[in-house]
Amino acid sequence: MAPMTRTSVTRILLLLCCGSFLYSVFLFFPKIDQQFLSTKGFGFHRQASEQFPVNAYRPLASHIAQHFPPPDTTRKKYHEWNAQTLRELYVCMALSNCGANQQKVALLASHWFEEAIVRDWRGGEGVWYYKNLRELGYTTLFANSFDEALEQYRLFPDLVKVVIRNRAGDCHKDTKCVKGPNNPSGIPAWKIFDFEYFSSPEGGHHGASLMKGKWILSANPDPRFADGQGPIQYLGFSIEEECSKLPIIPLAERSHQVWMLMKQLTYVYDHRFTWNRSYFSLAAQELGIDFVGGWQINQHYQWEPDKKGTMIDIEDKEHRTEFAHEIGSSKMLIGVGNPYWSPSPYNALCQGIPFLNPIINWDRGDPWNKAKWHSQHPSLNLLDPPYVYNVHKGNYTGFIEAIKLGTQTEIPRFVEPQSSS
Ligand SMILES: *[C@@H]1O[C@H](CO)[C@@H](O)[C@H](O)[C@H]1NC(C)=O
Ligand SMILES: *[C@@H]1O[C@H](CO)[C@@H](O)[C@H](O)[C@H]1NC(C)=O
């Protein structure tokens, strides 16, 4: 591909362009994580309390806790979290007062968990398992490999009920990891669950669980089975509690802007990009509205500058706005094809912001048959205006109409029931 020429976009605001990791521009999670961690009594903020529901997770009594410093909030070492969790388990077992599920141990063995929970990484993927398990009062330990999970498993094999990690097949195939005739203290194959945020209907993830089916856990349903009854185990996730803390700004008080859902500049250059880069400046002129967003510019993220030339930013620097806009003060959230099935549109809807969902592929003879669609956000296909505007790739008329209507039509806070199961 030849180097791209500059596309001028009227008053695109570049908010964030630095940072070294993939999910650095999750705009909601910083707030959510901190609120979640500080209000739920998890982790650093765990308090010993004499009064709590009989089934709840039992923290250390204060007279014991005073001798054992809690995890250090600046070191951010998950081993310190594990040590605290183990103290709580041993003490409650000794005192026979564990919460109902506390003697059931889940080993969270993918790095995403400790990154999200201990090191404030902003991606949603790591948070949701942990959150659900801790809310149900399970004991959870972090690990970063099957080797580490195996060591933990061997501490109390009967108590460990599940080991959750991506590439579960790696342990299944490793006779030093999985329980077998030559490794009686290995992890039983059936206790290992594959950690996948996205569903892959055929279980086709690289290195996936050899158990397949219900041993593959996913936050999202199989798009072929909207009711979640696909071959994989759809668990869902909940955003309601976090997003209900965010204010809803009345439409009339919002900036006249739409927010572009893109964390990487490559998203407007890759094959999944559903519009023409010219659409943004055309639509900005036609509707007199600003297109804003926050994206990372990484010439090496899914891009090869040697072969493809330097990616040219679409920000219009001459019209850069001086103050930072947030998504909550935007009138609509617009998908550009990628990222696939991100939680952000759920958060937007929960703040009363409609979503423009690009239809990436469809039956050319039957373009409105939703069952034949492949869209950026498969489970939001089911919704219609004024919440979700589904627009076919490359349809400028549809694009303009959706933005016009979407930015004029006020919607209440909306939480998709399925996303909160
Ligand atoms: C994108 O828009 C430009 C200018 O309007 C046009 O020349 C080009 O053919 C369009 N590309 C596609 C793929 O539609
Ligand atoms: C494009 O969108 C317009 C407006 O929604 C619609 O009337 C038209 O049928 C769409 N065209 C195609 C090819 O899908």
> Would the CB of 398 count as within 6 Å of ligand 2?
yes
88-102, 205-219, 268-282: segment of lowest average pLDDT: 205-219
CA distance 290 to 321: 10
- Does residue 374 lie within any of the structural domains? yes
Q: Please, which pLDDT band fits residue 90 given cuts at 50, 70 and 90? A: very high
Pairwise pLDDT comparison (371 vs 103), residue with the higher score: 103
Q: What is the mean pLDDT of residues 76-93?
A: 96
Please name which ligand lies nearest the alpha carbon of 368. 2
Those residues with Cβ within 8 angstroms of residue 332's Cβ, 6 or more apart along the chain or in another chain:
258, 259, 353, 354, 355, 356, 403, 406, 407
Pairwise pLDDT comparison (310 vs 399), residue with the higher score: 399
Indicate whether 273 pLDDT > 80. yes
Examine the domain organization and report whether 172 and 281 are in the same domain: no
- Does residue 172 lie within any of the structural domains? yes
Examine the domain organization and report whether 340 and 374 are in the same domain: yes
- Mean of the per-residue pLDDT values for the chain? 77
Those residues with Cβ within 8 angstroms of residue 52's Cβ, 6 or more apart along the chain or in another chain:
58
Q: Please, which pLDDT band fits residue 187 given cuts at 50, 70 and 90? A: very high
Under 8 Å between Cβ of 110 and 192: no
Q: What is the mean pLDDT of residues 295-305?
A: 60
Under 8 Å between Cβ of 204 and 212: no
Which among 105-119, 354-368, 406-420 has the top mean pLDDT?
A: 354-368
Those residues with Cβ within 8 angstroms of residue 339's Cβ, 6 or more apart along the chain or in another chain:
261, 262, 263, 267, 376
CATH number of the domain at 371, please.
3.40.50
Examine the domain organization and report whether 148 and 193 are in the same domain: yes
Indicate whether 45 pLDDT > 50. no
Hunting for tokens 């959230």 — which residue is that?
Answer: 333
Examine the domain organization and report whether 248 and 366 are in the same domain: yes
> Would the CB of 401 count as within 6 Å of ligand 2?
yes
Four-residue CA torsion sign, 326, 328, 332, 338: positive
Examine the domain organization and report whether 171 and 34 are in the same domain: yes
Residue 83's pLDDT is what?
Answer: 97
Q: What is the mean pLDDT of residues 361-367?
A: 96
Four-residue CA torsion sign, 36, 42, 46, 49: positive
Expressed in angstroms and rounded, the spacing between residue 5 Cα and the centre of ligand 1 is: 12
Of 333, 188, 314, 354, the closest CA to residue 261 belongs to 333
Examine the domain organization and report whether 391 and 278 are in the same domain: yes
Pocket test for ligand 1, best of 278, 336, 399 (most atoms within 8 A of CB): 278
Under 8 Å between Cβ of 411 and 386: yes
Q: Please, which pLDDT band fits residue 7 given cuts at 50, 70 and 90? A: very low
- Picking from 238, 267, 300, the residue at the C-terminal end of a domain is 238
Number of the ligand 1 atom closest to the C-alpha atom of 276:
1
Of 134, 133, 200, 142, the closest CA to residue 167 belongs to 200
| Amino acid at the residue 146 | F
Which among 48-57, 192-201, 321-330, 404-413 has the top mean pLDDT?
A: 404-413
Question: Which protein residue's CA is at the shortest distance from atom 9 of ligand 1?
Answer: 276
Pairwise pLDDT comparison (325 vs 104), residue with the higher score: 104
- Does residue 149 lie within any of the structural domains? yes
> Would the CB of 326 count as within 6 Å of ligand 2?
no
Those residues with Cβ within 8 angstroms of residue 130's Cβ, 6 or more apart along the chain or in another chain:
108, 113, 116, 117, 140
Indicate whether 276 pLDDT > 60. yes
Of 137, 140, 132, 377, the closest CA to residue 235 belongs to 132
3-state secondary structure the chain: CCCCCCCCCCCCEECCCCCCCCCCCCCCHHHHHHHHHHHCCCHHHCCCCCCCCCCCCCCCCHHHHCCCCCCCCCCCCHHHHHHHHHHHHHHHHHCCCCCCCCCCEEEECCHHHHHHHCCCCCCCHHHHHHHHHHHCCCEEEECCCHHHHHHHHHHCCCCEEEEEECCHHHHHCCCCCECECCECCCECHHHEEEEECCCCCCCCCCCCCCCCHHHEEECCCCCCCCCCCCCCEECCCCCHHHHCCCCCCCHHHCCCEEEEECCEHHHHCCCCCCCCCHHHHHHHHHHCCEEEECCECCCCCCCCHHHHCCCCCCCCHHHCCCCCCCHHHCCEEEECCCCCCCCHHHHHHHCCCCEEEEEEECCCCCCCCHHHCEECCHHHCCCCCCCEEEEECCCHHHHHHHHHHHCCCCCCCCCCHHHHC
Expressed in angstroms and rounded, the spacing between residue 337 Cα and the centre of ligand 2 is: 18
Examine the domain organization and report whether 72 and 217 are in the same domain: yes
Q: What is the mean pLDDT of residues 185-198?
A: 87
Angle at 105 between CA 100 and CA 107, to 5 degrees: 150
Examine the domain organization and report whether 317 and 269 are in the same domain: yes
Question: Which protein residue's CA is at the shortest distance from atom 3 of ligand 1?
Answer: 278
- Does residue 207 lie within any of the structural domains? yes
Expressed in angstroms and rounded, the spacing between residue 276 Cα and the centre of ligand 1 is: 6
> Would the CB of 393 count as within 6 Å of ligand 2?
no
Question: Which protein residue's CA is at the shortest distance from atom 3 of ligand 2?
Answer: 398
Number of the ligand 2 atom closest to the C-alpha atom of 399:
2
> Would the CB of 277 count as within 6 Å of ligand 2?
no
Please name which ligand lies nearest the alpha carbon of 399. 2
Pairwise pLDDT comparison (302 vs 35), residue with the higher score: 302
Pocket test for ligand 2, best of 366, 392, 400, 405 (most atoms within 8 A of CB): 392
Q: Please, which pLDDT band fits residue 55 given cuts at 50, 70 and 90? A: low
Q: Please, which pLDDT band fits residue 344 given cuts at 50, 70 and 90? A: confident
3-state secondary structure 245-262: CCCCCCHHHCCCEEEEEC
Pairwise pLDDT comparison (300 vs 229), residue with the higher score: 229
- Does residue 129 lie within any of the structural domains? yes
Residue 332's pLDDT is what?
Answer: 95
- Picking from 215, 238, 261, the residue at the C-terminal end of a domain is 238
Under 8 Å between Cβ of 40 and 49: no
Under 8 Å between Cβ of 324 and 292: no
- Does residue 263 lie within any of the structural domains? yes
Tens digit of pLDDT for each residue in 115-171? 877 877 655 555 666 677 777 899 999 999 999 999 999 999 999 999 999 889 999
Q: Please, which pLDDT band fits residue 15 given cuts at 50, 70 and 90? A: very low
Examine the domain organization and report whether 378 and 292 are in the same domain: yes
Examine the domain organization and report whether 225 and 289 are in the same domain: no
Residue 34's pLDDT is what?
Answer: 31
Of 87, 183, 172, 99, the closest CA to residue 138 belongs to 99
> Would the CB of 135 count as within 6 Å of ligand 2?
no
Examine the domain organization and report whether 415 and 281 are in the same domain: yes
CA distance 199 to 121: 22
19-23, 33-37, 226-230, 354-358: segment of lowest average pLDDT: 19-23
Question: Which protein residue's CA is at the shortest distance from atom 7 of ligand 2?
Answer: 398
Pocket test for ligand 1, best of 276, 285, 286, 336 (most atoms within 8 A of CB): 276
- Does residue 118 lie within any of the structural domains? yes
- Does residue 1 lie within any of the structural domains? no
Q: Please, which pLDDT band fits residue 41 given cuts at 50, 70 and 90? A: very low
> Would the CB of 392 count as within 6 Å of ligand 2?
yes
Examine the domain organization and report whether 282 and 311 are in the same domain: yes
Full residue range of the structural domain in which residue 51 is found? 26-238
Pocket-forming residues, ligand 1, beta carbon under 6 Å: 276, 278
Residue 316's pLDDT is what?
Answer: 53
> How many structural domains comprise the chain?
2
| Bridge partner residues of 358 (DSSP) | 391
Pairwise pLDDT comparison (238 vs 301), residue with the higher score: 238
Indicate whether 296 pLDDT > 70. no
Q: What is the mean pLDDT of residues 392-412?
A: 96
Tens digit of pLDDT for each residue in 301-342? 565 666 766 666 655 554 444 333 477 889 999 999 988 888
- Picking from 238, 255, 288, the residue at the C-terminal end of a domain is 238
Q: Please, which pLDDT band fits residue 51 given cuts at 50, 70 and 90? A: low
Residue 30's pLDDT is what?
Answer: 29
Four-residue CA torsion sign, 57, 63, 67, 71: positive
